[in-house]
Amino acid sequence: MNFKIKRVFAVVMRHLLLMKNPFELTSHLYWVLMDVVIFGFLVQSMNRQGDNSLNVATICILTNLAVCYVFARGAVSLASTLLKDLSDLSFVGLMATPITTAEWIASQIIVAAVSSGISFLMGFVCIGIFFRFNVFSSGLVLIPAIISLLISSWTLGIFMLSLVIIFGKKSSSSIHTVPWLFLPFSGVFYSVSILPTYCQKIASWLPMFHIFDGLTQYIKNGQSITFALLKSMGLNLIYFTVAITLFMIMFKRRKNIGLTRLELES
């Protein structure tokens, strides 16, 4: 069956209309605001300069915070779209239409990208208001970094889709916690070099670590981020392929069991 953009667009529009809910937007803003205020001012107070200007450590934290929600929120949003369909009892009806699995996954990825963009925009605004700092003052190097984090968010989101496909609504609490398990190993708030050796080895296999560490080194020392980007993209390619393959296997198995049971199981 041919890939139809209009079917993808229809699913995307359904979820974007749900985002118009003020409570949905508030959930985007709340955590971004809390992290920017708490961690931004915490680091600034610990490294205060006489003229109250932003120090390098604060700039690194603010830049990493602005882009970390591209990863975390995108992954949560991608998996949450399926949970919403299951809660609304609309997933089976959607799968009964001519939409293909590829079209459905593409629509989830687009919705996740929009959610990531909203979170980044809110972080950008909050940092500008509270610290009078422009995240893009680091340069256009931020754009490929954001693209890499987007791919990482889609990869983790698709892994979590497999989790939802197997365990159904019971996995809802895990969906909102899994992305945050990766942040301590990603170097968002501190250098991974202070972690135990085995934690540093775990971090080296995470594409997010290479982005955040690369941005930090770029801001502190002017070190090129190119090699970090290449390593991040390489890992993303591998993990994304594995995630898609795993999801297709799990989805086929679930269809054999029955998609209706997925909606009815609590």
pLDDT score for 89: 82
Nearest to 5 by CA among 110, 95, 89, 86: 110
- Residue 202 CB partners (closer than 8 Å, separation 6+): 185
Contacts of 141 by beta carbon, 8 Å cutoff, 6+ apart: 215, 218, 225
Lowest mean pLDDT among 6-15, 16-25, 155-164, 202-211: 16-25
Which of 139-143, 210-214, 255-259 reaches the highest mean pLDDT?
A: 210-214
Q: Decide if pLDDT at 25 tops 80.
A: no
> What are the domain boundaries of the chain?
5-264
How many Å separate Cα 226 from the centre of its chain? 21
Q: What whole-number distance in Å separates Cα of residue 254 and Cα of residue 181?
A: 27
Give the tokens for residue 25. Answer: 């937007």
Mean pLDDT of 71-94: 88
Residue 51 has pLDDT above 70, yes or no: no
Q: pLDDT (tens digit, 9 = 90+) per residue, 182-227?
A: 999 999 988 899 999 999 999 999 999 999 999 999 999 888 999 9
Mean pLDDT of the chain: 88
pLDDT value at residue 266: 60
The pLDDT value given to residue 1: 57
pLDDT tens-digit profile of 105-140?
999 999 999 999 999 999 999 999 998 899 998 888
DSSP code at position 54? P
**pLDDT value of position 52:** 56
Over 70: is that where the pLDDT of 50 sits?
Answer: no
